[in-house]
Structure 1
Amino acid sequence: MTHFPSKRLPHSSRPGYGLVLAAVLGLVAALCLGAVGEAKAAPTPVSRWSDRLHGFASLAGGTSGGAGGRVVTVTDQASLMQYAAAEEPYVIRVQGTITAEPFGANIEVASDKTIVGAGASGELVQGEFHLSPGTHNVIIRNMTIRDSAIEGNWDCKDTDFDGIQMDTVHHVWVDHNRFSHICDGQLDVRKDSEYVTVSYNRFENNNKTLGLGWTTDVKTQITIDHNWFAHTKQRNPSVDNAAYAHLYNNYLTAQEDPGDPVWTYGNWSRGKTRMVIENSYYKDVQHPYQADATAELVQRGSILKNTTGRHDEWGAAFDPRDFYDYRLDPAAAVPAIVQRFSGPQEWISSASSH
């Protein structure tokens, strides 16, 4: 699939620009920015900006998941597997904790599906959502995916227990989930997957976090925004051979380092990736952003607090606004925004069910 950029109006001439600008300024004021450049926590939700499909998953026909299909609520593994693998579209509400058996079991997700946690209670424990080649139009939101890690096996080279794994798929939105204690990767976007958005997730307590690539082709388009990477070691994310990787308003802090500092890093533009990083916040991070000599990395507007190691910037990469519009939050407000709005939210289940 190929996307041809459309001609864009100047930001100030676009419909609704004034309202969006006023809302952003209002949010920043509500967050009460401190003198050290890190915002205080927002007391209440001020907007549902974070409920909108955006980024690369919104292009080339968009991503609607199971919209228009039956809405079902599942509380056990058998029902989840039945509806997730079905040929017809479904909106699948996961209520409570589903513990996959056997340990590390795959939940196969077919095309035209929305999987959404009911309230903030939906959990998949010791299992993986798996999207096989050809799968498309999938939304996974508001879930906690946790605890497939094996005690004492930090590196997980002999297992393939991911939280979500996708191979050669297109149009996938992974949004407002929490990933914790997964063995191997928390989220793997693999083998020429296209039109993917990863937004408002919490990645925590893990070694291998968010990886992209496993291919020599340079096809993938991915947007990664408003995610919180906390107590994670590597792949935050690692992006190999992506045509376009747009990272903005992410919060990286408090890396894990169990005696292997060489592979403790933040964002990595690898292979022939073209990466743009905007208005992110890095706190206590080693190698916050780095690039291979063959890759390109443009960084602008981010805040670095107590960071060490590589801070690479070279090449022209691309202009994300040639592809889509987006709201860029001030970097100083990112910690408060991401801590408040990332991960499962009580209101998302009903918003995703119609």
Structure 2
Amino acid sequence: MNADGVKTTTGGGNATPVTVTTFAELKSAVQDKNPRVVIVSGTIKTEGGYALEIASNKTIMGADKDATIYGGIAMKNVSNVIVRNLNIHGVWPNSGPDDAISSRNSHHVWYDHLNVWDGGDGLLDITNESSYQTVSWSKFWYTNKDHPHRLASLNGSGGGDHPEDLGKLKITYHHNWFGDLVDQRMPRVMYGQGHIFNNYYTSKGNLYCVGVGSYGAVLVENNYFKDVKSPHQFMYALYSHITANGNVYDNTTGSKDTGLGGESGDSVTPFTDPPYDYTLDPAKDVPDLVTRCVGPQ
């Protein structure tokens, strides 16, 4: 999308790729002021107890399907970043970054073909006026049911106390797999507009899948929900809206909320016409397509 001073998301563009194998090399490359294409080889652990911050105009990608960042990465007040073809291993139950991936006040970010698991608090949180972000062909999961925060992806935050997010948080999720032991936030959308299509949900024993509240509006299309609770539900008292079309609900229970939700507040415009071209796969094809193709390649 051409918005907020960025025509479209290109990351490091055609910059000469640089391969990194250590944390020092990775940090130097991703925090450089120039556009960079950074290729991660092997496993690199972030250091210092905090997420590694990524500067604008960067592409960070794995050299192969085994390339891994252990710890966390963060986008803060940046734009035009691509993160793809990587394993992102969160630190739980060890100490370290709360989220495996986080974005705050950042725009034009593309997360593609990732495998993300065991974040300390969440796996991919997009908050604080972030916008124009796409999450595609990625898998989200946890390994231990005793983890108290098995959360996938938060868009916005709070139950009505972040009005600065209005008009922001325009996010697309497509062809992702929300897998083992994810409990909720697949995603949870507050204030923004979410387009959620052709995703696969197999998080048996969960609380809910897609949660929408506080002026959020989402379009939920051609997803496949299998053995999960509450495929899409309203949250909090302020108005929100869900449009759901073409989904498969295979042995699901709980809420499939649609239309206008909430009890009070200002009006909410339904989100039914994304401002870009896209092609929907039939929902029946999603399980095979997504399980074969998500994650690093």
TM-score by length of 2: 0.87
Who is 1:277 aligned against?
220
- More deviation in 294-303 or 93-102? 93-102
* CA deviation map 1:23-58 (0-9, x unaligned): xxxxxxxxxxxxxxxxxxxxxxxxxxxxxxxxxx9x
CA distance in 2, matches of 1:160, 1:209: 15
SS in structure 1 at match of 2:292: helix
Alignment of 1:343-354 (within 5 A): 343-345=295-297
Deviation at 1:160, TM superposition (A): 4.9
Deviation at 1:318, TM superposition (A): 2.2
Give yes or no for contact 2:22–2:44 (8 Å, CA) kept in 1: yes
Give yes or no for contact 1:69–1:88 (8 Å, CA) kept in 2: no
Who is 2:256 aligned against?
311
Who is 2:29 aligned against?
83
Amino acid at match of 1:222: I
Higher alpha-carbon Rg: 1
Who is 2:197 aligned against?
248
CA distance in 2, matches of 1:169, 1:147: 21
Amino acid at match of 1:196: Q
CA distance in 1, matches of 2:229, 2:128: 28
Amino acid at match of 2:196: L
Aligned residues: 274
Who is 1:295 aligned against?
240
Distance 1:62 1:116, change over 3 A: same
Give yes or no for contact 2:6–2:80 (8 Å, CA) kept in 1: no
SS in structure 2 at match of 1:175: strand
Deviation at 1:2, TM superposition (A): 8.4
Query: Match for 2:134 among 197, 221, 227?
Result: 197
> Is the aligned partner of 1:336 residue 2:296?
no
Alignment of 1:24-39 (within 5 A): none
Deviation at 1:255, TM superposition (A): 3.1
Give yes or no for contact 2:105–2:130 (8 Å, CA) kept in 1: yes
Amino acid at match of 2:13: A
Aligned-pair identity in percent equals: 36
Who is 2:76 aligned against?
132
Amino acid at match of 1:300: N
Give yes or no for contact 2:91–2:97 (8 Å, CA) kept in 1: no
Who is 2:87 aligned against?
144
Who is 1:13 aligned against?
none
> Is the aligned partner of 1:114 residue 2:62?
no
Who is 1:233 aligned against?
183
TM-score by length of 1: 0.74
CA distance in 1, matches of 2:204, 2:127: 24
Who is 2:146 aligned against?
none
CA distance in 2, matches of 1:85, 1:106: 13
Deviation at 1:70, TM superposition (A): 2.6
Distance 1:2 1:141, change over 3 A: closer
* CA deviation map 1:61-116 (0-9, x unaligned): 110000122310001101001111110010000001112234x4321100000000
Higher RCO by CA contacts (8 Å cutoff, separation 6 or greater): 1
Query: Match for 1:72 among 18, 26, 51?
Result: 18
CA distance in 1, matches of 2:54, 2:90: 20
CA distance in 2, matches of 1:335, 1:60: 35
Bigger strand share: 2
Query: Match for 1:208 among 151, 161, 184?
Result: 151
Query: Match for 1:184 among 92, 114, 121?
Result: 121
Who is 1:31 aligned against?
none
SS in structure 2 at match of 1:186: strand
CA distance in 2, matches of 1:129, 1:205: 18
Give yes or no for contact 2:90–2:99 (8 Å, CA) kept in 1: no
SS in structure 2 at match of 1:179: strand
Deviation at 1:269, TM superposition (A): 1.1
Who is 1:41 aligned against?
none
CA distance in 1, matches of 2:124, 2:59: 17
CA distance in 2, matches of 1:144, 1:160: 16
Who is 1:45 aligned against?
none
Who is 1:93 aligned against?
39
CA distance in 2, matches of 1:320, 1:178: 29
* CA deviation map 1:259-306 (0-9, x unaligned): xxxxx1100111101100000000011111012461000000000011
Alignment of 1:8-47 (within 5 A): none
Give yes or no for contact 2:223–2:246 (8 Å, CA) kept in 1: yes
> Is the aligned partner of 1:266 residue 2:209?
yes
Give yes or no for contact 2:12–2:57 (8 Å, CA) kept in 1: yes
SS in structure 2 at match of 1:83: helix
CA distance in 1, matches of 2:271, 2:184: 25
